[in-house]
Amino acid sequence: METVINSDASAIKRSINMLMDKMSNDKLIEAYDYIRFLVSNTSAISFDELECYALSEPALSKDWMSNEEDEFWKDL
């Protein structure tokens, strides 16, 4: 399998299309799911959202770090 070393987006898309032409339907579905995953993870989380998560973690950890919580989740 050849490695894409050209950073030209249109060349990369052509290479991907050529590879997809050789794939079974099952593999195409997997590729589609993976591409959707990559696209959904490109949206950046804002600093305000990260700060909110960081500030709420100590308060929430009081509930998370309990024997009752450990007992509830032990089978997962």
The whole domain housing 14 covers 1-43
Whether residues 7 and 24 share a domain: the answer is: yes
Whether residues 52 and 39 share a domain: the answer is: no
DSSP 34: H
Place of tokens 């050209």: 6
State the Cα–Cα distance between residues 61 and 28, nearest whole angstrom.
Answer: 41
Question: Does residue 5 or residue 15 have the better pLDDT?
Answer: 15
Whether residues 12 and 34 share a domain: the answer is: yes
pLDDT in tens, 10-62: 888 999 999 999 999 999 999 998 888 888 765 566 667 777 777 787 877 77
Whether residues 66 and 38 share a domain: the answer is: no
Whether residues 39 and 50 share a domain: the answer is: no
Q: How many domains does the chain have?
A: 2
pLDDT of the residue at 45: 66
pLDDT of the residue at 25: 92
